[in-house]
Amino acid sequence: MIREKDGIHFDLEEKVVADSRKASGDVNIVSHAHMDHVHQGDNPVVASELTRKLAEARTDKEFESFESSSYELIPSGHILGSTAVRFGDERKYLYTGDVSLRDRAYLNGFQPVSADVLVVESTYGIPAYRFPDQKEIEAEIRDWVQDNNNPLFLFGYSLGKAQKIQHIVEEATERPIVAHGAVKKMNDVVEEVTGLDFRAKPYGENKDMLEDNAIFIGPSRFSRNDGLNKFVDKVDGLKAGFSGWAAQEAFRHRGGYDRTFPFSDHCDFDELVQLVEKVGPEEVYTHHGFDEAFASYLKREKGINARALKQNQASLTDF
């Protein structure tokens, strides 16, 4: 029996709870260190060492590891440390967490493994979200940075996306880079636990660099800050947004961006289909994003027993 409540709950011989904030089970999975997936309780967690270190840095609490050979961690290609988890004896369950098949910047994509039951996020689970080849996207980013000598203001999630953007920008130019505090904090943690290195200086102390031709890296939510936008206008800056939602033009207008790039840490529609086919499950549960549409597609076009998880529904027979 599987249901979505606070996280994804698997009621098996052991109660397994994945990516909950407060709900606890016999086993608690933390797939990655984005805060909406980090367990707030004191239970030991199934997570990669890197995810635990990142989560500890973000929460100022210690995470004890749940040690069991029954839970196989597979890098999911979402952010540093992110993992899918395969578990179960005769019947194998695969929980992907947030997932991407494509290699990006310094991060390798997910390599699907077989399972009887697949629980997969479906953020971009409709055909409208098909992304260009990743190498093309990254080449376009480098070209845009090199072609525009204005101050540039680039926006993506502070942990994961922002570091990949910096990596690409550093390949493209020697121009100074300054980072919003939220991004700089995550840079420091990533540098400490991975060996990656970023040259961005703190925004607050180096804001004047943006009056010349420096490049700013900030969290997506900051793109609509009134003070920031007045400063962008003052220095004749250009704003760029990085997200899978950029596959649709509305994303550019919502963020007030001059340029957008469909740079995503999730699978696009075709990659979700490819993932399901490679796993070869008997049953698929979808959640988040276009969950109902993607489940319907799998059932209609691929003949797979698929359903969208809904709050407190327990099994495929409940739909």
pLDDT of 220-234, one tens digit each? 999 999 999 999 999
Q: Where are the domains of the chain?
A: 2-128+266-318, 134-261
The sheet that has 305-308: what strands, in order across it? 72-75, 83-87, 93-95, 117-122, 283-289, 305-308
Model pLDDT, residue 42: 85
Q: Do 2-128+266-318 and 134-261 share a fold?
A: no
Average pLDDT over residues 32-61: 89
Over 70: is that where the pLDDT of 314 sits? no
How many residues are given for the chain? 319
Q: What is the mean pLDDT of the chain?
A: 93
Tokens 């290609």 belong to residue: 77
Q: Are strands 305-308 and 15-18 parallel, antiparallel or unpaired?
A: unpaired
Model pLDDT, residue 312: 45
Lowest-pLDDT range, 64-73, 135-144, 266-275, 296-305?
64-73
The topology (CATH level 3) of 134-261 is: Rossmann fold (3.40.50)
Could you report how far apart the first and last alpha carbons of the chain are, in Å? 12
The topology (CATH level 3) of 2-128+266-318 is: Metallo-beta-lactamase; Chain A (3.60.15)
Model pLDDT, residue 311: 55
Residue 319 confidence class, pLDDT cut points 50, 70, 90: very low
pLDDT tens profile 88-129: 999 999 999 999 999 999 999 999 999 999 999 999 999 999
User: What is the Cα–Cα distance from 18 to 30, expressed in whole angstroms?
Assistant: 6
User: What is the Cα–Cα distance from 101 to 267, expressed in whole angstroms?
Assistant: 6
| Helical ranges in the chain per DSSP H | 49-59, 134-147, 161-172, 181-194, 203-206, 226-234, 250-255, 269-279, 291-302
pLDDT tens profile 133-142: 999 999 999 9
Return the higher-pLDDT residue of 41 and 86.
Answer: 86
Model pLDDT, residue 238: 98
Residue 193 confidence class, pLDDT cut points 50, 70, 90: confident
Average pLDDT over residues 276-282: 98
Percent of the chain with pLDDT over 90: 82
Nearest Cα residue to 282 out of 92, 112, 99: 92
| Cβ partners under 8 Å of residue 61, min gap 6 | none
Residue 57 confidence class, pLDDT cut points 50, 70, 90: confident
